[in-house]
Amino acid sequence: AQSVTQLDSHVSVSEGTPVLLRCNYSSSYSPSLFWYVQHPNKGLQLLLKYTSAATLVKGINGFEAEFKKSETSFHLTKPSAHMSDAAEYFCVVSDNAGGYNKLIFGAGTRLAVHP
Partner 1 sequence: GAVVSQHPSRVICKSGTSVKIECRSLDFQATTMFWYRQFPKQSLMLMATSNEGSKATYEQGVEKDKFLINHASLTLSTLTVTSAHPEDSSFYICSARVAGRLQGTQYFGPGTRLTVL
Give 41 or 70: the residue with its C-beta nearer to partner 1: 41
Smallest gap from Cβ 16 to partner 1, in A, equals 27
CB 23 within 8 A of CB 7: yes
Give 46 or 83: the residue with its C-beta nearer to partner 1: 46
Q: Is 61 helix (H, G, I), strand (E, B) or coil?
A: helix
Backbone angles phi, psi at 68, to 5 degrees: -120, 100
* Separation in Å, CA 97 to CA 2, 18, 33, 72, 103: 10, 36, 15, 19, 11
Smallest gap from Cβ 102 to partner 1, in A, equals 6
Smallest gap from Cβ 66 to partner 1, in A, equals 19
Q: Which helix (H) or strand (E) holds 2?
A: none
Smallest gap from Cβ 115 to partner 1, in A, equals 24
CB 23 within 8 A of CB 30: no
- Residues forming contacts to partner 1 in the complex (CB under 8 A) are 32, 34, 36, 41-46, 49, 51, 90, 94, 96, 99-103, 105-108
Give 28 or 41: the residue with its C-beta nearer to partner 1: 41
Give 13 or 106: the residue with its C-beta nearer to partner 1: 106
Q: For residue 113, which amino acid is it?
A: V
